[in-house]
Structure 1
Amino acid sequence: MVDIGSLDLLPFLLSFKLAGLTTLILFVLALPLAWYLSQTTSKTKPVLEAITALPIVLPPSVLGFYILVVLSPNSAVGTFFEDLFGVKLVFSFTGLVVASCFYSLPFMVQPLQSGFESLNKHMLEASYLAGKSRLQTIWYVALPNIKPSLITALIITFAHTVGEFGVVLMVGGSIPGETKVASVAIYEMVEVMEYGKAHVYSGIMVLMSFVVLLSVYIFNQKQKKIGIL
């Protein structure tokens, strides 16, 4: 029997902190990208979409390896950040945030892009004719009319980041209080055969994932009913 009070909740707090920062950063970065992909007719669109979707099909260990190489102190990127800001990007929480942004990018971009593509074009044209800028049109016209896609993008990105394992282990390792997130903690428990604690940690992850998905589906169902009415 596992004593619940003895469980270390710091890995979960780190996971939620990582997921929150990643979701916020990706929303800012993915919004213009998703808008561009939804509006462009350029021949390069399929190439950009394929590059954006790569983290979905690439094994996390492969993606994590290349991110590790790019962010290492021996690389130009790693050297730049360490010399200018004094920040090490590997085996640090900052590096986890950078890696998570790459890994979770398609989970933010694709729902937003799908939502933008479903918008009535006449609505956007009317906004431009009224003198609204592109940014104003996105913020005040487009986003309020794609609430299901927006909520899906935010929640799925957050949940997906919480469940990361391969990429965060490759880039961040397992430093208690720094990079040891919940998924890594579960892996280490299994390694030392602490199956009781692993069951509890895994159960929390399963419950959280189910609640997140259920919330998304309930919200989208309500939005569809409102649309029908």
Structure 2
Amino acid sequence: MIRKNHKGIFIVISGPSGAGKGTVCKELIKTSENLWLSVSMTTREPRDGETNGVEYFFVSKEEFQKQIDEGNLLEYAIIHSNHYYGTPKALISEYLNVGIDVILEIDINGALQIKENNKEALFIFILPPSMEELKNRLIKRGTETKEKIIERFKRGYQEINEITKYNYVVVNDELDKAVDKVKAIITAERCRVDRIEEVFLNNSEEVIHEKLISNKTFNNTDITID
């Protein structure tokens, strides 16, 4: 008898700005069962339309520092005008322990921090079809200056050079296909030998012998067991 290990899979997704990792994550949540999108913590002020606990957990710098000191964050960084961003451990562990997969969209620096202390996590990198397409996507956003676009493009090139530190790479050429590939990766990961508990291997040969003899399936069948 083989029984699955019911602990959820921790899925970490990264990629350069413009690769579409956020869109892929949202589509995964929309079209998948048993999957929760991790919520990060930040010290910045909520923007219009944002809700505490949905987009982010919004906290003071004092509270954030307390979380750091108590070791309650998987990773953290100070970015964007001295605002703190980090990933709380508690909810992720809670969901994983009841068999729910958790997906975390995060930049490469955060992902590598997590990888140092979480060898069981699944790391997926989302790539654009080409650097030319990445540039076009950044331009089409129409929300940033030319200088900012150039900065993001350069950073994206640097980030792509880190893909060997991930388990899988998915090219986001067509959204539906990219999402299907990520789902296939998660399914394959769930079938890995080290994620499956084979209960009968924990039994001695004598116990297995006893179970076979006492099994009702064999009550009316002549069986010779050497």
TM-score category of the 2 structures, normalised to the smaller one? under 0.3
Q: Normalization by structure 1: what TM-score? A: 0.23
**Structure with greater proportional strand content:** 2
Q: Normalization by structure 2: what TM-score? A: 0.24
Larger Rg: 2
**Structure with greater proportional helix content:** 1
